[in-house]
Amino acid sequence: MTIVAATASADPSFLREFAQTRRYLAGRPANVRLTPDGKTVLFLRAKPTSPEQTLFSFDVATGQTVELLTPESLLNGAAETLSVEEKARLERMRVSARGFISFQLSPDGTRVLVGLSGKLYVVERESKKVQELKTGAGACIDPRFTPDGKAVAFVRAHDVHLVDLSKNAESAVTKGGTEAKPHGLAEFVAQEEMSRFTGYWFSPDAQMVAYQETDHAGLEQFGIADPMHPEAEAERFFYPRPGKANAQVKLFLQARKGGAPVEVKWDRAAFPYLATVRWPKKGALSVLVQNREQTKEQLLAVDVKSGATTVLLTEEDAAWVNLSQEFPFWLPDGSGFLWGTERHGAPEVELRKSDGTLVGPWLSPEAGYGGSAGVNDLVGYDERTKTLYFAGGPDSVATAIYRAQQGQAPERVKTGFTTATENGLLSEDGQLLVVTATSVQAMPKTVVLKTDGTVVGELPSVAKEPTLSLQLELKTVGEKKLKAMVLRPHGYVPGKKLPTILEVYGGPGHQEVVQSLRENLLLQWLADQGFVVVKLDGRGTPRRGRDWERVIKGDFASVPAGDQVEGLQALAKEVPELDLARVGVYGWSFGGYLASVLTLSRGDVFKSGVAGAPVVDWHDYDTHYTERYLGVPPAAEGAYAKSSVLAFVEKAQRPLMLIHGTADDNVYFFHSLKLSDALFRAGKPHRVLPLSNFTHMVPEPLVMERLWQSIAGFFKETL
């Protein structure tokens, strides 16, 4: 598949616009929610070059969109401020937007809850009447309506509080929380690695709350100082490293009327991780717990009176069990739940009774699904027709909306999109879908449609469209049938060899080769500087089956690096413009790690490399991610030794450029300093570009522009 644009631009101003528009997402609908009656779609949207999001309302009957609420109207012109806790939470969620980051709907859909500058507001949708909630001093983290809609709950000053909306009065639900032992907050690894961002859950009648207590005793603290302001105190964060102390997590039940909290009891020594909590309208309070190695997990039903638990099911895998916050998915009538598993080698969804007994598969390859790409996200469940809607499909580079009844072959929903990456949301009555789709030819678009495919309307966008289009080819190469993308410069001469840049990630849980224009725009800009840019998804990446993904167990370096080289060489046989004598490699995060490994260890293939925010020594990354794949030290020391970038320093013969934000609290800056020190002592060529006071993300337009100019300049010099 080749996409040829009529116009092209290598103008560096593209880089600044790319950042100013938040990768051309500013101005597009975000955080879409359907009201319970299915009559209104609410969403956030910013102006084309602003990070500040406002709240909009789309009327399904008329197709009209109106602005419902703005940050300016609440702050009266004052500047928005964020606490350290709020900034850290947004970093975990990879959110660079400001203004309204999110919003919550009351259970009846008539009111909206928003937070801004540490304050909370409840807005009546019909009258637009605003109620500022009276809370104590300090940031209100993770605010939500209680299930009865009569109060708003949040975490403040290390405890769960709520405001009774009829009295606008705050009261504490939990007591005794401290900075070292907070109540109601998800710990670092839950937010960063489990995709669990909350630490409290209300009962359906709102009279009881389950809350997490996190004991950080014995946990290391890392400090981040602002190098531009040495007079300022360093900010300190709890950070668990492999083989060392983890946060100790307990779960308690607290009645709102008071009394002593009841501890939820399970074998915490065997299963220290609290991965998932569900308290459905009907069905058991259920918790998913994992062993530290993440090779075994148990789903437990909780007796809310005694705190005792009963095992509903156990999931095991010799390598690791993948965690999905989609499951358990309790059916609305409480008769059972859906469960995701890979125990037969590919993703499946099972139907189980409320006691955990297996009824049978809901979705499986044998049911006619085909392939092993599986279910990416659950879209919704239509109780009336007993139909499950989900995003997934057999093609690992594309995602579509499907629906299926139990044991039946899935049917692709008619959304009007062809080859695309789709996700969606189903209304409570099962009559409406809101679908957002993107492809390599188009930026995301959000449409509202009936489940028969009839289009109701499109949520309006005011976003700037990219001036740069893709010169892209999608391929499958080599004996392993690796998925690959090739981006050539506009105006290239067919057959003329060009220096080549391999862009990598290569790690678990993430794909580079996907149907997305936005994900490839920067690479097209880089190609237009006179390069062929290629990327490949090798083994270890998701959506190619259990064995494909698990082959990296115990070794992050060998298989990912080997597959990238093999794929690059196979690609060169089909792409005559690719010059194997002039190849560089670039990546960020795990991609920065893999770019470092390839540059240092395979100087016969790569002439230079750029590594952004690389993990250098896996002893220094967090427990839940690293131990899942490499094991728990000291028993797994061999895996850490062979996976460390430091193991390849003596082989280095090609220049490596290291880029790292000094305020990165995910992959700390000292990773790059540790590698630079080792390279310097070994007399190996390298450069270091520190990004002062930046985290794992680089959203500032000018810095984004200078950063990519530096990357392009380095490759022009070295290739």
Which region among 210-219, 265-274, 399-408, 488-497 has the lowest average model confidence (pLDDT)?
Answer: 399-408
Residues 6+ apart with CB under 8 A from 501: 526, 527, 531, 532, 533, 534, 583, 584, 585, 586, 715, 719
DSSP code per residue over 52-63: EEEEEEEETTT-
Structure token digits, residue 533: 């840019």
Q: How confident is the model at residue 365 (pLDDT cuts 50, 70, 90)?
A: low
Asked if residue 390 lies in contact with residue 405, where contact means CB atoms within 8 angstroms, the answer is no
How much is the average pLDDT of 595-605? 98
**What does DSSP assign to residue 172?**
E
Q: Over the stretch 376-389, which tens digit does the pLDDT of each residue have? A: 789 999 999 999 99
DSSP three-state, residue 486: strand
More confident residue, 39 or 100: 39
Structure tokens at 236: 């300190």
Q: What is the pLDDT of residues 642-658, one digit of tens each?
A: 999 999 999 999 999 99
Q: What angle do CA 584, 587, 589 make, to 5 degrees?
A: 155
Quote the CA–CA distance of 631 and 625 in Å, as a whole number: 10
The dihedral of CA 17, 19, 24, 30: what is its sign?
Answer: negative
The β-bridge partners of 447 are 435, 458
Spell 670-702 as b/e; 16+ CB within 10 A means b. Answer: bbbbbbbebbeeeebebeebebeebbbbbebbe
Domains and CATH numbers, the chain: 264-412 (2.140.10.30), 472-718 (3.40.50.1820)
329-330 sheet: strands from edge to edge: 329-330, 336-341, 348-353, 358-363
Q: What is the mean pLDDT of residues 669-696?
A: 97
What percent of the chain shows pLDDT beyond 70? 94
Residues 6+ apart with CB under 8 A from 366: none
Q: Identify which of 243, 241, 248 has the alpha carbon closest to the alpha carbon of residue 667.
A: 241
Show the tokens assigned to 573.
């046989």
Percent of the chain with pLDDT over 90: 85
Angle at 350 between CA 348 and CA 352, to 5 degrees: 165
pLDDT of 49 reads 87
Predicted local distance difference test score (pLDDT) of residue 368 = 40
Nearest to 538 by CA among 458, 481, 587: 481
CB atoms within 10 A of CB 406: 17
Which residue from 284, 289, 285, 311 is spatially nearest to 300, judged by alpha carbons?
Answer: 311
Least confident of 77-86, 439-448, 519-528: 77-86
How many residues does the structure list for the chain? 719
**C-alpha Rg value of the chain to the nearest Å:** 25
Reported as a pLDDT band with limits 50, 70 and 90, residue 699 is confident
Query: Contact 384/429 with Cβ under 8 angstroms?
Result: yes
Evaluated on CA atoms 313, 192, 182, 245, the torsion sign reads positive
Q: Is the pLDDT confidence value at 89 over 80?
A: no
Of 413-417, 613-617, 680-684, the poorest mean pLDDT is in: 413-417
Tell me: pLDDT of 73 over 90. Answer: no
pLDDT of residue 364: 79
**Distance spanning both ends of the chain, measured CA to CA:** 28
111, pLDDT greater than 60: yes
pLDDT at position 98, please? 64
Instruction: Answer whether 571's CB lies under 8 Å from 536's CB.
Output: yes
Question: Is the confidence at residue 359, as pLDDT, over 90?
Answer: yes
If pLDDT is split at 50, 70 and 90, which confidence band does 45 have?
very high
- Give me the pLDDT at residue 71, please: 86
The answer, yes or no, to whether the previous bond of 71 is cis (omega within 30 of 0) is no
Give mean pLDDT, residues 366-379: 62
Average pLDDT over every residue of 410-428? 92
What is the Cα–Cα distance from 388 to 338, expressed in whole angstroms? 10
* CA angle at 435 for the pair 39 and 471, rounded to the nearest 5°: 150
Q: Is 179 left (phi over 0), alpha (psi -120 to 50) or beta?
A: alpha
pLDDT level of residue 713 (50, 70, 90 thresholds): very high
Mean pLDDT of the chain: 92
Give the three-class secondary structure for 87: helix
- Residue 550 CA to residue 559 CA, distance in Å, equals 11
Task: Please state, in angstroms and as integers, the Cα–Cα distance from residue 609 to each residue in 496, 563, 656, following that order.
Answer: 23, 17, 5
- Residue 339, classed as helix, strand or coil, is strand
Measured distance CA(577)–CA(475) in Å, rounded:
15
**Cis before 634 (ω within 30):** yes
132-151: per-residue pLDDT in tens? 999 999 889 999 999 999 99
Please say whether the dihedral angle defined by the alpha carbons of residues 94, 97, 98 and 102, taken in this order, is positive or negative. negative
Give yes or no for a contact between 40 and 62, defined as CB atoms under 8 angstroms apart. Answer: no
Q: Is the pLDDT of residue 537 over 50?
A: yes
Q: Which of helix, strand or coil describes residue 507?
A: coil
Check whether 85 has a pLDDT greater than 70.
no
Q: Is the four-CA dihedral 233, 235, 238, 239 of positive or negative sign?
A: negative
Of the candidates 462, 454, 410, which has an alpha carbon nearest to the alpha carbon of residue 435?
Answer: 454
On the question of pLDDT at 62 being above 70, the answer is yes
What is d(CA 477, CA 498) in angstroms, rounded to the nearest whole number? 20
**338 pLDDT more than 80:** yes
- Contacts of residue 326, defined as CB under 8 A and 6 or more positions apart, other chains included, come to 340, 375, 377, 378
Tell me if 117 sits within 8 A of 75, measured CB to CB.
yes
Q: Which two tokens stand for residue 441?
A: 């030819």
Where does the pLDDT of residue 51 fall: very low under 50, low under 70, confident under 90, or very high at 90 and above?
Answer: confident
Query: Could you tell me the pTM of the whole model?
Result: 0.93
Largest CA distance in the chain: 77
Confidence of residue 88 (pLDDT cuts 50, 70, 90): low
**Three-class secondary structure assignment of 394-407:** CCCCCEEEEEECCC
Question: Among residues 378, 376, 308, 373, which one has the least CA distance to residue 337?
Answer: 378
From the number of C-beta atoms within 10 Å of its C-beta (0-12, 13-18, 19+), residue 482 rates as buried
**Closest residue by Cα to residue 295 from 324, 320, 270, 275:** 320
